[in-house]
Structure 1
Amino acid sequence: MAANINVKNPPDMKGKTYEQLKNEIAMWQILTDLDKKKRAIAIALSLEVGRKARQKAQDIPAADLNVDGGVQILLTELDKVFEKDKIDRAYSAYTAFDQFKRKEESMSVYIMEYEQKYTQMKKFDMTLPQAVLAFKLLDGANLSKRERQLALTACPTIQFEEMKSALNRIFGDSTGTLNSKQEEDSFLDVNVTESAFRVNSSRLKYEDRPRSRYRFKSSTDSLRVSQKLNPMISGAVSRCRICDSRYHWMKECPTRIQHINNTDNPDAAEENAHITLYTGADTDLTPGEILICEAANSAIIDTAYS
Structure 2
Amino acid sequence: MLWGFTLSFAQRFMLTSIAQLSVNVANPDVLVKTKYAYVALCTLWAYDYVITLDEELSFVTGSTWRIVKYLYLVCRYVPFLYLTVISSRTLEKNPSLSMCQTLYSMNSYLGIVIIVSAESIFFARTYVIWDRSKRVLWTFIVSVTFLLTPIVGILVKYNASTTITNWVATGLPGCSKTGETSAVLYVYVLMIIAELEILCLTLYQAIARYRRERSANVLRVLVQHNIFYFLCGVGSSGVLIVAIAIFPPSYSDLVSSIQITVHAALVTRMHRALWKYNADYAHPDEFSLTTFSTPSPLQSRTVQSAVSYYLDEPFGK
Q: Which has the higher helix share?
A: 2
Please report the TM-score for the alignment, with normalisation by the length of structure 2. 0.26
Between Structure 1 and Structure 2, whose CA radius of gyration is higher?
1
Of structures 1 and 2, the one scoring higher in RCO (CA 8 A, sep 6+) is 2
TM-score (structure 1 length as normaliser): 0.26
Larger fraction in strand: 1
